[in-house]
């Protein structure tokens, strides 16, 4: 039996997940032809405070972080883990909400951003395993959202890439990495970073830049004292240790060779449409749907 298509939207806190959900919901209601559809967005983040999209169902109706913190005296992270484990203990709530949608409908699940839920406390993996048992395995796609402003700091961008790779391996879903907020970064910066052949090459460029800056600073502050020389030596040793770790991360990313990004500017309809096509292709959405005519389009209004 067919199942509704489901986007599992995740990513670091503040990366723009809820904004992505809202943009997709509004965009899909206005595009023309057979690709027009109604997007049902559901909130699975028990710590969410507010969002601008129309909510299909909300986990805070079952349990919320604020309630857990107040009743059990837990901190924000502990309360979030407790909420998601509570969802696992009460899967019928999620099952009943998903079953309310028809086979040709489309759902986006706005998920929590805390990375521990996808890695060493694999709560989200267990939630998705339940959904696979219910028959949604072939219709789910993971969308990992990373803030494009990370592109201005190579270390942050590599960290975001590592988080994405971790989620890909942990969840074992068809996966699309979305680079959000591209309207806040120049096209030249986006093309330069995404056009680099490997993470190692990207870090080499950063290293050369940092070395040039360090040499220029040393020239300006030419202090020949032994104390100044000792300070410079300690700084150089710390830099080399950090570089070895970064180089190991780059090698890991290159060895897997799985992480690539789709740049997204929510202010650009063409960019939104391109992102939607990539996500749809990951799960072959629409290939077995009937083509809607004018009457089908009008039904969404």
State the average pLDDT over residues 123-143. 95
pLDDT tens, 209-223? 666 555 555 555 555
Are 301 and 32 within 8 A, CB to CB? no
Q: What is the pLDDT of residue 227?
A: 64
For residue 225, pLDDT beyond 90: no
Residue 140's closest CA among 179, 101, 164, 172?
A: 172
Rounded CA separation 286/263 (Å): 23
Distance of CA 240 to the CA centre of its chain: 31
DSSP 134: I
- Per-range mean pLDDT, top range of 25-34, 161-170, 195-204: 161-170
Backbone angles phi, psi at 10, to 5 degrees: -140, 175
Q: What is the pLDDT of residue 196?
A: 85
Task: Give percent above pLDDT 70 in the chain.
Answer: 83
State the average pLDDT over residues 263-273. 94
For residue 83, pLDDT beyond 50: yes
Q: Whole-number mean pLDDT of the chain?
A: 86
∠ CA 296-272-142, nearest 5°, is 90
Rounded CA separation 127/61 (Å): 18
For residue 23, pLDDT beyond 90: yes
Are 106 and 285 within 8 A, CB to CB? yes
Rounded CA separation 196/165 (Å): 18
Are 84 and 124 within 8 A, CB to CB? yes
pLDDT bin (cut points 50, 70, 90) of residue 62 is very high
Q: What is the pLDDT of residue 221?
A: 57
Are 28 and 121 within 8 A, CB to CB? no
Residue 9's closest CA among 183, 120, 182, 167?
A: 167
pLDDT tens, 45-58? 999 988 889 999 99
For residue 201, pLDDT beyond 60: yes
Q: What is the pLDDT of residue 217?
A: 57
Q: What is the pLDDT of residue 231?
A: 56
Q: How many CB atoms lie within 10 A of CB 226?
A: 8
- Give the 3-state secondary structure of residue 175: strand
Q: What is the pLDDT of residue 296?
A: 46
Task: Give percent above pLDDT 90 in the chain.
Answer: 55
- Residue 78 in tokens: 């502990």
Rounded CA separation 89/198 (Å): 42
Rounded CA separation 176/143 (Å): 5
- Residue 73 in tokens: 């005296």
- Give the 3-state secondary structure of residue 10: strand
Are 228 and 173 within 8 A, CB to CB? no
Minimum mean pLDDT range among 18-22, 228-232, 250-254 = 228-232
DSSP 132: I
Q: What is the pLDDT of residue 233?
A: 63
pLDDT tens, 178-192? 999 999 988 888 888
């Amino acid at each position: 039996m067919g199942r509704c298509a489901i986007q599992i939207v995740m990513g670091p806190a503040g990366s723009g997940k809820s904004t992505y959900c809202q943009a997709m919901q509004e965009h899909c209601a206005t595009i023309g032809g057979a690709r027009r559809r109604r997007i049902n967005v559901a909130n699975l983040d028990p710590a969410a405070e507010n969002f601008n999209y129309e909510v299909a169902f909300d986990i805070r109706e079952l349990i919320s972080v604020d309630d857990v913190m107040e009743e059990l005296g837990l901190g924000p992270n502990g309360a979030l883990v407790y909420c998601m484990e509570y969802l696992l203990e009460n899967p019928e709530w999620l099952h009943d909400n998903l079953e309310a949608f028809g086979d040709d409908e489309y759902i986006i699940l706005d998920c929590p951003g805390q990375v521990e839920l996808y890695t060493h406390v694999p709560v989200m993996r267990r939630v998705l395993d339940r959904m696979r048992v219910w028959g949604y395995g072939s219709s789910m796609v993971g969308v990992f959202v990373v803030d494009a402003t990370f592109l201005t700091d190579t270390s942050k961008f590599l960290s975001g890439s590592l988080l994405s790779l971790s989620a890909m391996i942990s969840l074992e879903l068809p996966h699309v990495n979305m680079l959000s907020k591209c309207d806040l970064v120049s096209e030249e910066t986006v093309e330069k970073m995404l056009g680099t052949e490997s993470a190692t090459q990207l870090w080499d460029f950063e290293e050369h830049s940092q070395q040039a800056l360090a040499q220029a600073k040393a020239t300006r502050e030419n202090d020949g004292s032994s104390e100044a020389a000792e300070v410079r030596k300690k700084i150089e040793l710390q830099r080399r240790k950090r570089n070895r770790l970064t180089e190991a991360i780059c090698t890991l990313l290159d060895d897997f060779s799985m992480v690539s990004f789709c740049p997204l500017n929510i202010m650009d309809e063409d960019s939104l449409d391109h992102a939607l096509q990539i996500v749809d292709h990951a799960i072959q959405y629409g290939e077995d749907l009937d083509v809607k005519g004018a009457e089908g389009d009008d039904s969404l209004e």
